[in-house]
Homo-oligomer: A and B are copies of this chain.
Amino acid sequence: MKTTQELLDSLLEHKASINLASSQVKNQALAAMANQLEAQADAILAGNALDMEAAQGRISPVMQDRLLLTKERIEAMAAGIRVLIDLEDPVGLVLEEQVRQDGLRIQKRSIPFGLVGMIYESRPNVTSDAAALAIKSGNAVMLRGGKEAFHSAQAIVTALKTGLEEAGVHPGVIELVQDTSRASAQEMMTAKGKIDLLVPRGGAGLIQAVVEQATVPVIETGTGICHVYIDQDADLDMAVSIAVNAKTSRPSVCNSAEVLVVHKNIAPEFLPAFEAALEGKVELRADQEAQAFLKQSTQAGEQDFDTEFLDYIMAVKVVDDAQAAIAHINEHSTGHSEAIVTDHSETANRFTLMVDSAAVYVNASTRFTDGGEFGLGCELGISTQKMHARGPMGLREMTTYKYVVSGQGHVR
């Protein structure tokens, strides 16, 4: 078993093999990686069976379902990789160019970061998604998944490495960290000058720990306390439809809504209609004003407006006006996605200007914040910070740039 430090050194030694690879080679590698996932499906399922066995009685049924692999899920992983083949190579683009009067040529060129690190939890498909995005964007990648999925990830990485080798890329550009203790995460967070970009993906606790402890550049992802604000000028049917969709279409994901904010003038009409449309599926934790218009609700506590439920639970608050809604959202949001439902364009405009989140929606559900929906193919994660990337992170967000300056002996 290689230590985390040995894997880091090996990645640094071999990263040029992918950093400098041509589009053609990278696409050949992706195709071979996808094929190998399918060819080695039995080994992957065997690894997954080990993980599933160890998981019995130790993690919840929902988490067990996340961990489970089937032939179909492996084929979906392969299909996800193949989608990337047709996307434009984000590397090697001349982003800007100027030739100064003295003849000095300054080019700004897109390049890979170099070595990207991912720290994540138990979903096996994150292993193949992250590896494929890294390869297409020319990055070596160090993957550190959760111990619950270790054998699955190991088998997946073995298949991907076979694919790389077939395409003539050194298989050492993708490595799975073997040590799943905290120590390896700590080593990655502090691998300054070695890991160029670290992306944590998973629960709020994991992400906060990485953001607080890392000395390498980190992109904070994912936590979504998303709000839907129903303005006084909302179309009632549309408001109900959007609020129901944002909460219930998939409550376990980060772009689902957790908090409903309602203008006091529309609350008497809207809240009963919303409650009826939910058909009892959602527990409503409402402030006192909202409770007056709801048949079944519990009194919201302070913490309910700062919780990512990821469940059929929603906090409900009535406000005096749009300004109060915006203030509440900016105070309690995690900066992911927020929606306003209104027919009043000025109010909509103010909301989009002042709400400080990665994606701000007018008359649409928060559920669209997603790499696939935004046309990025797939995504590495959804950035909730403002530096470098905001919202869904695709291939382009895995590149940086350098200035290449050419002269004929220019001095200053």
Contact surface of A with B, Cβ cutoff 8 Å: 16, 20, 98, 100, 104, 106, 113-114, 196-197, 211-212, 215, 217, 219, 235, 237-238, 241-242, 245-246, 249, 348, 352-354, 356-365, 367-369, 373-375, 385-388, 390-391, 400-412
Contacts and interface: CB of A to CB of B under 8 A. Distances in A.
A118 B366 CA distance: 34
A403 B386 contact: no
A385 B402 CA distance: 11
SS class, residues of chain A in contact with chain B: mixed
Given A387-B400, A390-B400, 17 more contacts: A16-B354, A98-B375, A106-B374, A113-B386, A114-B386, A242-B410, A245-B411, A359-B402, A360-B402, A362-B407, A364-B406, A368-B405, A387-B388, A388-B388, A390-B402, A390-B403, A391-B403
Contacts of A235: 409
A412 B368 contact: yes
A124 to B, nearest CB: 25
A386 to B, nearest CB: 4
Given A106-B374, A388-B387, A400-B386, A405 B20 contact: no
23 contacts: A104-B364, A113-B387, A197-B387, A211-B215, A212-B215, A217-B385, A238-B408, A238-B409, A242-B409, A242-B410, A242-B411, A245-B412, A348-B406, A359-B403, A361-B405, A362-B407, A363-B409, A364-B408, A364-B410, A364-B411, A368-B410, A369-B403, A386-B400
A405 B362 contact: yes
Contacts of A354: 16, 20
Contacts of A361: 405-407
Contact of A411 (B356, B367, B408): B367
Nearest 5 A-B pairs (CB), nearest first?
A364-B407, A245-B411, A364-B410, A388-B388, A238-B409
